Amino acid sequence: MCDKVFEEDATQEEVYAGTTRPLVEAVLRGHNATVFAYGATGAGKTYTMVGPEDAADPGQQGVMVRALNELFGQAAHLGDRVTLSYLEIYNENIRDLLNPGGPAGSAGGSLELREDQAGGVRVAGLTEADTRSTAEVLQLLHRGNRARTVEPTAANRASSRSHALLSVRLTRAPTPAAPRALSAPSGRLYMIDLAGSERASNTKNRGKRLQEGGHINRSLLALGNCINALAGGARYVNFRDSKLTRLLKDALTGDCRAVMIAHVSPGERHGDETRNTLAYAHRAGTITSRAGQYRDIVSDLRAEISRLRAKLAEGAEGTDSSSPSAVGPPVSMPTDASTQSGGGPGGPATNPALTRLRDDLVATFREQMRLRRTLLDIDAQLLRLDSETDRQQMILSRANKLYQAQAGAPSTAGTTRTSYRAARSTRSTRGPPSTIASTIADTETSDGESGSPPGSPMRRALYALESIEHERSRLVDLRAKTERDLERARGQAARLEDELPLQASSGEERELLSLVLRVHELEAERLALQGERELRRHELRRRDLLLMRYDRQRHICDEIITRQRRLIEDGRLSLPPDLHDLYRLYQKEIHAAAYSAFSPYSAHGLTDAYGSLGSTFTADSTGRGLYTAQAGADSMDVRTSARTNELPAIRRGERMYRRGTRGQRGHGDGGGGRAGDSASRSSGRSPNSSNGSDWEVATLATLPSVMGRCTSRPSGEARTACSRRSSPSPGLTTALCPPASAASGAPAR
Ligand SMILES: Nc1ncnc2c1ncn2[C@@H]1O[C@H](COP(=O)(O)OP(=O)(O)OP(=O)(O)O)[C@@H](O)[C@H]1O
């Protein structure tokens, strides 16, 4: 669930290094990044983000101070400009923590949110402090922290009653002191100390405190809804429900890496809050989509292009302005012949050292291209495995229920579910899939009593999951190795570029750089296209899964209605007229659907719908997933049952109708719709991409990844935290921290 968990004795430095340092590095490379502290009141969010109020010991300083120190240190070194703003949202009012009184004329210091034409949100009148001195910026931060709304509650002696948002913007300005000027775009880091979620019964808040708690919970709920929508891949996410979500829109979408540090208290009495926090963090964690990694690869490449452009522009400054455009591509793409023979971009080079350098440069960039494509390929395979895992999980949980019902063995099913959930959690921590193996062993040993019979859907799903886990850990390792190789190749290219001015005249140097730039540009376009194509495929798989899920939900609802009706009829209960009308409407609907059910499309739809339980997944030697469809229920059975058992049969008919319609719409091939769909999945092709159908496909808006930090109570209960994933994917991260009641002497909750 969490990418990293921090033990109770984890130091502030460890938590910072495990969660936020990679974000600071990303910001220095021109990305946007966000770190949130989330958790119940008193769980230690402010301690993590800010540090204790009287932190004389630098070791106690929180994430904000550490990140600012590091950013300012690097920025001063590079001559970059850093600006900072700090605000709080208290009772849905925005207050400038660097200027708590607000600008003249503001109502009680409350600032307004304004939307610009591009849909971006800004806070009117918010102070953007511009400083190059680390000491000064820390002073500003402390001043802002002192201005925050803090009140004592039963749960926390100094409870922050507001959400605090610290935003640091890094701007690369071209100055003579900054030789790498324009080498990367500007980046922004948001650091957010959310107010704690709270239960009135625990906090014993009354009056004003209770009202604050209501605002806090409402905005956290709005944030949770956005997270849920993003995690579910929704096309429309409602950020407008609270000021917090409006402000965080940029941080939650687009090219923004994010870490959520979820704070929990492992004490038993905090069980409910811990569970809620973990569920919230887990949901946030699922926003992290591998989809974001495509954009990451491409955006790194684009940053490299900007750097090369800047370098070319710098080189052009001192040369004749009538010479060929320094930034434009004066050379054509290298052909294999030209690059291999040493024939350069501008004709054969006479200087052997320069020829060698050019060949090395081209070879290094070719290697980088190859590695980037490999990364993209691995990500595509991982995406497929993610979808397949979800599918097999659904099959498993369905099969579990069936066995529970048939064998009357809730204990085994329960064990399987629990074990599998644990097994699934090994996915993110890259642990061995041993839990799945032991679950399989469990079900095997309990055969005949309550376990699943050999060859059953449950057993097949477990085996499929086991092979998926093996494949996933192989791919994750391969990805890590490829990233290391890419980093090495980048270093090698940088060294060769540094050697260029020594070996080449400025004209030759610019030509070579133009060549490299052009290669990068073409590569970026290619990768972007490839990535978007893969995202569309993923979106189609996600929608297929969603349809399966809806089918399941409808099936359960139908079952409930049928049984309730039986109860009503058997007990001769009289119905309220409106309910009676609803039943009639329902009956009409399913009858209408039943007629359509026997359309030519139905057989395919039904086979696919029911066959889902019997389909299996295997991975071939290249790691690509193969689907093997197996026969499900056949349409004759259903027609028979339609006569003998009206309600359930009609329900099935309706499902057939919907499937048939979808297949027809997607492929324009009538009854072959779903079959075509299955076939194209088997071959790894998207039905959508293959025929240019009119399906609308939404691309997931993703955060890079979610990290978590869980700190437990200082009194000896665990302090735990979750940290960022190994791969630098964009997303949200989550973490957990302890309530300070023990340390602070606040009353125990
Ligand atoms: N890891 C820790 N080590 C030592 N003390 C801690 C730790 N975590 C929290 N505390 C202490 O616990 C108390 C409560 O922590 P804090 O104020 O950070 O909680 P919070 O989650 O921000 O609560 P709220 O949401 O109510 O503002 C503080 O006195 C803090 O110093």
pLDDT tens, position by position, 441-461: 555 444 444 455 666 777 788
Instruction: List all residues 6 or more positions away from 671 whose beta carbon is below 8 Å from its beta carbon.
Output: 600, 601, 603, 604, 660, 663
The residue written with tokens 């099936």 in the block is: 555
Question: Can you tell me the distance from the alpha carbon of 33 to that of 24, in angstroms, rounded to the nearest whole number?
Answer: 8
Lowest-confidence range among 193-202, 293-302, 460-469, 647-656? Answer: 647-656
Instruction: List all residues 6 or more positions away from 141 whose beta carbon is below 8 Å from its beta carbon.
Output: 64, 65, 68, 84, 86, 166
**What's the CA-to-centroid distance between 156 and ligand 1, angstroms?**
8
Phi, psi (degrees; rounded to nearest 5) at 731: 160, -165
- Does the CB atom of residue 52 touch ligand 1 within 6 A? yes
**What's the CA-to-centroid distance between 10 and ligand 1, angstroms?**
14
Helix, strand and coil content of the chain, in percent to the nearest 5, comes to 60, 10, 30
Question: Can you tell me the distance from the alpha carbon of 180 to that of 381, in angstroms, rounded to the nearest whole number?
Answer: 37
For residue 346, pLDDT over 50 is answered with no
pLDDT at 509: 72
Confidence of residue 562 (pLDDT cuts 50, 70, 90): confident
Question: Can you tell me the distance from the alpha carbon of 729 to that of 139, in angstroms, rounded to the nearest whole number?
Answer: 33
Residue having the nearest C-alpha atom to atom 30 of ligand 1? 740
Confidence of residue 745 (pLDDT cuts 50, 70, 90): very low
Average pLDDT over residues 420-445: 45
Q: Which two tokens stand for residue 18?
A: 């495990």
Share of the chain above pLDDT 70, in %: 56
Q: Is 42 annotated as a binding residue?
A: yes
Question: Can you tell me the distance from the alpha carbon of 7 to that of 716, in angstroms, rounded to the nearest whole number?
Answer: 10
User: To 10 degrees, the CA torsion angle through 438, 444, 449, 454?
Assistant: 140
HEC string of 591-633 equals: HHHHHHHCCCCHHHHHHHHHHHHHCEEEECCCCCEEEECCCCC
Instruction: List all residues 6 or more positions away from 551 whose beta carbon is below 8 Å from its beta carbon.
Output: 609, 655
pLDDT at 16: 94
pLDDT at 543: 75
pLDDT at 204: 58
Handedness of CA 575, 580, 582, 588 (dihedral sign): positive
For residue 249, pLDDT over 60 is answered with yes
**What's the CA-to-centroid distance between 416 and ligand 1, angstroms?**
38
Confidence of residue 704 (pLDDT cuts 50, 70, 90): very low
Summary mean pLDDT of the chain: 65
pLDDT tens per residue across span 630-658: 333 322 222 222 332 333 332 332 322 22
Give 672's DSSP letter. Answer: G
Long-range pairs for 213-216: beta carbons < 8 A, 24 or more residues apart: 215/90, 215/91, 215/92, 216/161, 216/163
**Nearest Cα to 245, choosing from 229, 226, 228?**
226
**Nearest Cα to 127, choosing from 156, 149, 150, 106?**
106
What ipTM does the predicted assembly reach? 0.97
Strand locations in 40-101 (E): 81-90, 93-96
pLDDT at 348: 47
**Pairing verdict, β 187-193 and 32-39:** parallel
pLDDT at 48: 92
- Does the CB atom of residue 145 touch ligand 1 within 6 A? no
Residue having the nearest C-alpha atom to atom 11 of ligand 1? 740
The residue written with tokens 């014993």 in the block is: 204
- Does the CB atom of residue 743 touch ligand 1 within 6 A? yes
Question: Can you tell me the distance from the alpha carbon of 717 to that of 715, in angstroms, rounded to the nearest whole number?
Answer: 6
**Nearest Cα to 37, choosing from 156, 270, 196, 187?**
196
Residue 521 has, within 13 A of its CA and on its CB side, a CA count of 16
Lowest-confidence range among 83-87, 176-180, 269-273? Answer: 176-180
Handedness of CA 380, 386, 389, 394 (dihedral sign): negative
Mutate to test the pocket of ligand 1, among 19, 156, 265, 276 (most ligand atoms within 8 A of CB): 156
**What's the CA-to-centroid distance between 47 and ligand 1, angstroms?**
5
Average pLDDT over residues 513-527: 76
Average pLDDT over residues 496-509: 73
Q: Which two tokens stand for residue 615?
A: 């389909």
- Does the CB atom of residue 55 touch ligand 1 within 6 A? no
Q: Contact, 619 vs 382, CB < 8 A?
A: no
Phi, psi (degrees; rounded to nearest 5) at 79: 75, 25
Q: How many residues does the chain have?
A: 749
Distance of CA 735 to the CA centre of its chain: 15
Other CB atoms closer than 10 Å to residue 328's CB: what's the count? 12
The residue written with tokens 């050697």 in the block is: 499
Question: Can you tell me the distance from the alpha carbon of 61 to that of 43, in angstroms, rounded to the nearest whole number?
Answer: 17
For residue 15, pLDDT over 90 is answered with yes
Phi, psi (degrees; rounded to nearest 5) at 266: -75, -5
Q: Contact, 31 vs 80, CB < 8 A?
A: no
Element (H, E) at 454: none
* DSSP H helices in 408-456: 410-429, 434-445
**Nearest Cα to 474, choosing from 382, 389, 386?**
382
Could you tell me which residue, 602 or 132, shows the higher pLDDT?
132
**What's the CA-to-centroid distance between 208 and ligand 1, angstroms?**
22
Q: Contact, 251 vs 189, CB < 8 A?
A: no
Mutate to test the pocket of ligand 1, among 6, 46, 61, 198 (most ligand atoms within 8 A of CB): 46
Q: Is 44 annotated as a binding residue?
A: yes
For residue 285, pLDDT over 50 is answered with yes
**Nearest Cα to 170, choosing from 78, 237, 47, 65?**
78
Confidence of residue 731 (pLDDT cuts 50, 70, 90): very low
Question: Can you tell me the distance from the alpha carbon of 696 to that of 675, in angstroms, rounded to the nearest whole number?
Answer: 20
Region for 629 from its dihedrals, namely left if φ exceeds 0, alpha if ψ lies in -120 to 50, beta otherwise? beta
Average pLDDT over residues 320-342: 39
Question: Can you tell me the distance from the alpha carbon of 669 to that of 654, in angstroms, rounded to the nearest whole number?
Answer: 20
Q: Is 40 annotated as a binding residue?
A: yes
Q: Contact, 466 vs 433, CB < 8 A?
A: yes
Residue having the nearest C-alpha atom to atom 8 of ligand 1? 44
Handedness of CA 231, 234, 236, 241 (dihedral sign): negative
pLDDT at 351: 72
Alpha carbon distance, N-terminus to C-terminus of the chain: 26
Nearest ligand 1 atom, CA 194: 25
Instruction: List all residues 6 or more positions away from 374 whose beta carbon is below 8 Å from its beta carbon.
Output: 482
Average pLDDT over residues 660-672: 33
pLDDT at 254: 63
Give 325's DSSP letter. Answer: P
